[in-house]
Amino acid sequence: MVEVREVWKAFGPRAVLRGISFTAEAGGAVGLIGPNGAGKTTLLRLIAGVERPDRGVVRVEGRPVGAFRRRELARRLAVLSQEAFTPFPFSVYDTVMMGRHPYLRPLRGITPRDREIVERVLAEVGLAEVASERVDRLSGGQRQLVALARTMAQEPRVLLLDEPTTFLDLGHQVRVLDLVRRWQRERGLAVVMVLHDLNLAALYCDRLVLIHGGRVAASGRAAEVLTPEVLESVYGTRPVLVPHPVRGVPQLFVQPDQLPEDRNETPRRVRSAGRE
Amino acid sequence: MVFRWWKRAVQCWSLLAVLFALVACGQGGAPAKSPADAPGGGQSTPAKGPVAYPLTVRDDSGETVTIPKEPARIVSLIPSHTETLFALGLEGRVVAVTSYDHYPPDVQKKVEAVLDGLNPSVEKLAALRPDLVVLGSHNRETVQAIRRAGLTAVMYDPQSLDAVYRTIEQLGEITNRTDRAAALVEQMKAKARVLADKVAAVPPERRPRVYVEVDPDQLFTPGRNTFMDELIRLAGGVNIASDLEGWKPINAEKVIRSNPQVIVLTYGYYVPDAEAKLKQRRGWDAVDAVKTGRVYVVDSDLVNRPGPRVVDAVEALAKLFHPDLFR
Amino acid sequence: MAGKRAWLWGGVLGLSIAVSVLISLRIGPAGLETADVWRAVWGRLTGAGGVPDWEVAVVWDLRLPRVGMALLVGASLAVAGAAYQGVLRNPLADPFILGVSSGAALAAVAGMLFGGRAGLYGVWGIPLLAFAGGLAGLAAVLRLGGMAGGMRNETLLLAGVVVQSFLGAVLTVLMLASAERLPGVMMWLMGSLANRDPALAAGVLPCFLVSLALLVAWARELNVMTLGEDQAAYLGVDVGKRKWKILVAASLAASASVAVSGIIGFVGLVVPHIVRLLAGPDHRILLPLSALAGGLFLLWADNAARAAVPGQEIPIGAVTAFLGAPFFAYLLRRSGRTR
């Protein structure tokens, strides 16, 4: 569904991406992880077609992204990022309706089908009650749900998420990601998400691509990518990994530096996260 | 919702009301420019014969100025006084005039320097080493700046025909030309008397309503207590703006309502086809002056300069107002 | 539901304008009574005799064109302001802040001073010249403010102040160069509708209509663009091109109106805000309602300008600034708090 092949990108003299390749299949979620400045967001923007790769190609449904007209692309691919809000007092309903923009024809207004989709999406994310509220009066978590609803109103086949949970409280983090995963499964969505939180990445992504210095440092299932060795080589700190008590995927704990006064605490022996 | 809108509207307008009040106050408190009264502190009849220097005079700035000796290097910063000085035979002593000076013809070529009359550079002025600077309708700051530079400066801003006579006599005394000044004034008065006799014969109902416009964008016009207002009266016209005080922009509505029979424009020297443009203004075709084609461009140098040619200005206007009198 | 509210407010504004026009025809130093105004209106319509010429002239040739120009200029500025705010996602944007007004005024003045020789007079010459100047002013401000998306308020304001000061200085020097026109400087810097040739409006009206039509046609894109440039692109808007088209279309209306009225600030700032509060931020509604509300606002600002001080006019820009500057301060304070 999404194919990234040997993509290079530089801003001036600074090479951000140096030959990245991966694919995201329909119904699956790929997590892009890596340290700050690794080029994850740039990569996402290349897939979304708002940046052009210097070399290599990004294909959506087998066609290079650059070959789509924006409207065509927007009917296939949606992006959820942080801070995608207007400074103006649009209502929740109107904001979600903006997701129908790629389908609207000039002169022909909103159709009953558009309304139907928007109302359904609002119900699914649980915002039907506040549909006529002003977006700027909602909480940060609810606003992110509005943004998610908008991307869903686009009826995309590919969904890109750029750190969708940053600044959200725990409940909303889980809500947003659960909704994404439900849609991904039910509608065969190909999901590519940039996540800062490696634990959430392990839980919600079928495959992880660890990017470091503009290259793919590791990729595969969570258990293959999230190992103390790989993480130390990329992040410069050696975390402790344990399997999630319910889902079994690796979850990570950072380990603070041992200071002399910490000596009297008996360090607990922890099993390194094993293969499932 | 509607209620909220009204509330907002009310707030807006109360703000505006404050504005009204403010501006209205400012207007009421504005000091009207007082017409310059007798210059020279009553020395209207200077002594005949050679002037004894140092000479002390009181000028229109209200200050007492002492002229140490007969001025030999004079700078005139106002064209009307230039005309007076030249009429007093001081050509050769006038070393600088302004860029607005056009009379006598070629006057700018007869002097050492041509200065910016409105905002003169005091440095440039001082460099000319004048022993007398003659000022006119300049503001207080300019007058003081020149005096602070150690220059002897007199300021006369006549606002009536009588004041023009007195100013000429005063300038004559200062420059030791009393006799020529007296002769000049006598000549002017004689001409004015002839004109006045002619005009006096015109009954009030035959005196035309006159509108004078000196700026086409703002419709600046002379109101009461202006020199121009007096010229209109002396020429046998009735100024439609005499309810205004001093020089003011007038509203086009008022002009049209007043229905002037003669319109006089003074800006023909920088606006080409000034009469035609005025006649094309929307709504002005309701005005008698436009209907009868009595819109005239006059030489602004003549009518705006309270100098020796001022009686000629009255005559020129009188000819426009009462052409039959001069046939 | 939003549609119904739009029609409601459209009706309210339309009615207010109709009433305001009638009241405005009554305001003026010539002191016509209501009956006189009616008689004059009727007189020209029917050619009926017995009405004094001057009354007909005052009502039809002075007051009516002036009312029309106030409506037109106000509508142009407000529509432009709404579009700028939307496309730049900046609630503080308006033709004045963005340097469009100053640029247009400078170009228009230059055209009038030197145009005689270049043969640029005429209905179209000055508005189009102003358009070019307005675009130049806008380009300078946006360039200086760094076009990078979602320009911060402070940067935009600073860039605007710098460009405006510079253009204002050039304008002043230009006008002082011909000293007879000294009073005109004031008119251009503070705006005025006094003694303007109504023929100029003939060139401005098409500019306004074209601009409004284009912007309304792009209103949906404008809505989406308020989400930010990237998000708008993700929603299928060709942001790069569309953004410039919107800026140019808005500048057309704003600049052309400056050619008639000089620089009038704050109309484009205040009006869209109030309309948004009343009828919501949807540009399909916001733009036409802003046109109506802007016209209404400027009509009353002009009434205040000519009636506030008996026998004299105050520049209309002073009136709008008097109302708009406190409003601006309020917006600035509020935007500072939410940041």
Give the pLDDT of residue C180: 55
Mean pLDDT along residues B25-44: 40
> Of the candidates C220, C221, C227, which has its C-beta nearest A86's C-beta?
C227
Which positions in chain C touch B277 (Cβ < 8 Å)?
A: none
Contacts of C85 in chain A (CB under 8 A): 88
Whole-number mean pLDDT of chain C?
86
The answer to whether B251 contacts chain C (CB < 8 Å) is yes
Which residues in chain C touch residue B16, judged by CB atoms under 8 angstroms apart?
300, 304, 319, 322-323
B276 and B179 assigned to the same domain: no
- Whether residues B262 and B153 fall in one domain: no
pLDDT at B5: 44
> Do both B274 and B163 map to the same domain?
no
What pLDDT, on a 0 to 100 scale, did the predictor assign at position A256? 83
pLDDT tier at C337 (50, 70, 90 boundaries)? low
Higher-confidence position of C178 and B251? B251
Chain A and chain C share a number of CB contacts under 8 A equal to 81
B25 within domain boundaries: no
> Rounded to a whole number, what is the distance in Å from the CA of A210 to chain C's nearest CA?
25
Is residue B155 within 8 Å of B75, Cβ to Cβ?
A: no
Average pLDDT, chain B: 84
Contacts with C183 from chain B: Cβ below 8 Å: 215, 217-218, 220, 249
Residues of B in contact with C293 (CB under 8 A): none
Tokens representing A248 are 């079994």
Range in A102-111, B255-264, C61-70 with the lowest mean pLDDT: A102-111
Neighbours of C79 (CB within 10 A): 33
pLDDT above 60 (res A144): yes
How many contacts does B have with C, using Cβ atoms within 8 A?
A: 104
Say whether residue A48 is in contact with chain C using an 8 A CB cutoff: yes
CA distance A273 to C306: 82
C-alpha B138/C-alpha B191 separation (Å) is 29
Mean pLDDT of chain A: 89
Share of chain C above pLDDT 90, in %: 45
Query: Do the Cβ atoms of C304 and B20 come within 8 Å?
Result: yes
Interface test with C, best of A11, A81, A88 (most C CBs within 10 A): A88
Calculate the alpha carbon distances from A261 to A140, A237, A256, A265, B95 in Å. Answer: 40, 21, 13, 8, 96
Residue A267 pLDDT > 70, yes or no? no
Considering only CB atoms, B270 lies closest to which of C30, C180, C197, namely: C180
Residue ranges making up the domain that contains B142? 39-187
Region B48-53: what's the mean pLDDT? 78
| pLDDT score at B18 | 43
Q: Does B184 touch chain C (CB under 8 A)?
A: no
pLDDT value of position B322: 95
Share of chain C above pLDDT 70, in %: 90
Asked whether B and A share 3 or more beta-carbon pairs under 8 angstroms, the answer is no
Does B149 touch chain C if contact means CB atoms closer than 8 Å? Answer: no
- Quote the pLDDT of residue C122: 62
Q: Give pLDDT, residue B29.
A: 37
Please give the Cα distance from B311 to B325 (Å, whole number): 16
The most confident of B11-15, B193-197, C182-186, by mean pLDDT: B193-197
Average pLDDT of the segment spanning C253-261: 91
The span from the CA of B219 to the CA of B253, in Å, is 11
Helices and strands in chain B, H and E counts? 12, 13
The pLDDT, as a whole number, for residue B208 is 96
In tens, the pLDDT along A78-92 reads: 999 876 677 888 999
User: What's the CA angle centered on B232, arms B226 and B234, to 5 degrees?
Assistant: 105
| Cβ–Cβ below 8 Å for C228 and A83 | yes
Which chain C residues are closer than 8 Å to B220 by Cβ?
A: 183
**Boundaries of every domain in chain C:** 2-338
Decide if pLDDT at A140 tops 70: yes
Q: Average pLDDT for residues B101-112, to the nearest whole number?
A: 90
| Residue C24, both tokens | 């405005």
C chain contacts of residue A48, beta-carbon cutoff 8 Å: 230, 233-234
Q: How far is CA C260 from CA A256, C23, C123, C180, C266, in A?
A: 70, 23, 11, 20, 17
Question: CA dihedral defined by C115, C119, C122, C126, rounded to 10 degrees?
Answer: -40
A88–C91 C-beta distance less than 8 A: yes
Average pLDDT over residues B59-82: 93
pLDDT digits (tens, 9 = 90+) for B114-140: 988 878 888 889 899 999 999 998 888
B224 and B166 in a common domain = no
| Per-residue pLDDT at A244 | 92
Q: How far is CA C138 from CA A119, A156, B201, C131, in A?
A: 41, 37, 65, 10
pLDDT of residue C42: 86
Assigned fold of C2-338 = ABC transporter involved in vitamin B12 uptake, BtuC (1.10.3470)
Rg (C-alpha) for chain C, rounded Å, is: 20
Rounded to an integer, the average pLDDT of C264-285 is 92
Residues B210 and B165 in one domain: no
Of C58, C62, C308, the CB nearest to B20: C308
- Between CA A193 and CA A80 the distance in angstroms is 9
8 Å CB contact of A90 and C220:
no
Indicate if B214 and B164 belong to the same structural domain.
Answer: no
Task: Spell out the alpha helix ranges (H) of B149-177.
Answer: 161-174
Of B315, B301, B230, the C-alpha closest to B266 is B301
Q: Name chain A contacts of C152, Cβ cutoff 8 Å.
A: none
Least-confidence region, from B112-121, C117-126, C153-162, C230-239: C117-126
Residues of C in contact with A163 (CB under 8 A): none
Chains with 3 or more CB pairs closer than 8 angstroms to C? A, B
Chain C residues inside the 8 Å CB shell of B5 = 12, 278
First to last CA, chain B: 75
- Angstroms from B23 CA to nearest CA on chain C: 7
User: Do residue B307 and residue B167 come from a single domain?
Assistant: no
Q: Which of C85, C227, C277 faces A98 most closely, judged by CB atoms? A: C227
Whole-angstrom distance, CA of residue A248 vs CA of residue A242: 9
Q: Are A70 and C232 in contact (CB under 8 A)?
A: no
Lowest mean pLDDT among A29-38, C9-18, C149-158: C149-158
pLDDT at residue number B237: 95
Strands (DSSP E) along chain B, which ranges?
Answer: 55-58, 64-67, 74-76, 94-98, 113-115, 132-135, 153-155, 209-213, 220-222, 238-239, 247-249, 262-265, 295-297
C-alpha dist (Å) from residue A194 to A29, A204, A233, C230: 11, 11, 20, 16
B173, B233: one domain? no
Cross-chain residue pair A102–C86, CB shorter than 8 Å: no
Examine chains C and A and say if they touch (3+ CB pairs below 8 A). yes
DSSP secondary structure code for residue C184 in this structure: H
Which chain A residues are closer than 8 Å to C226 by Cβ? 86-88, 90
Question: Do A78 and C220 make contact, defined as CB atoms within 8 angstroms?
Answer: no
| Average pLDDT score over residue span C79-107 | 91
Domain boundary assignment for chain A: 2-225
**B232 falls within a domain:** yes
Which pLDDT does position A83 carry in this prediction? 66
Q: Regarding beta strands B55-58 and B64-67, do their DSSP bridges make them parallel or antiparallel, or are they unpaired? A: antiparallel
CA distances, C328 to each of A252, B10, B272 (Å): 50, 18, 43
**Assigned domain for B13 exists:** no
Chain A CB contacts of C238 under 8 Å are: 69-70
Name every chain C residue with its beta carbon within 8 A of the beta carbon of B2: 12
- Asked, for residue B9, whether it belongs to a domain, the answer is no
Check whether residue B316 and residue B215 sit in a common domain. Answer: yes
With an 8 Å Cβ cutoff, is A149 touching chain C? no
Say which of C231, C235, C277 has its CB closest to residue A102.
C235
Say yes or no for a CB contact (<8 Å) between C236 and A50: no
pLDDT tens, position by position, B152-192: 999 999 988 999 999 999 999 999 999 999 999 999 999 99
With an 8 Å Cβ cutoff, is B215 touching chain C?
A: yes
Q: With a cut of 90, say whether residue C252 has pLDDT above it.
A: yes
What is the DSSP code (8-state) at residue A136?
Answer: G
Provide the pLDDT for residue A154.
95
A73 CB near a chain C CB, below 8 Å? yes
Q: How confident is the model at residue B251 (pLDDT cuts 50, 70, 90)?
A: confident
The per-residue pLDDT for B2 is: 42
pLDDT recorded at residue B39? 42
In a shared domain, residues B70 and B178: yes
Answer yes or no: is pLDDT of C234 > 70.
yes
Verify whether the Cβ–Cβ distance C237 to A101 is below 8 Å.
Answer: yes
CATH number for B128: 3.40.50.1980
Query: Does the beta-carbon distance from C58 to B257 stay under 8 Å?
Result: yes
Closest residue to B249, CB basis, from C116, C300, C313:
C313
pLDDT at B34: 39
Number of structural domains (chain B) is 2
* For residues B101-106, average pLDDT: 89
Q: Which CATH superfamily is domain A2-225 in?
A: P-loop containing nucleotide triphosphate hydrolases (3.40.50.300)
Rounded to whole angstroms, how far apart are CA atoms B197 and B203? 12
Q: Provide the percentage of residues in chain A whose pLDDT is more than 90.
A: 71
Mind telling me how many Å the CA of A209 is from chain C's nearest CA? 23
* Residue B36 pLDDT grade (very low, low, confident, very high; cuts 50, 70, 90): very low
Smallest CA–CA distance, residue C239 to chain A, in Å, is 9
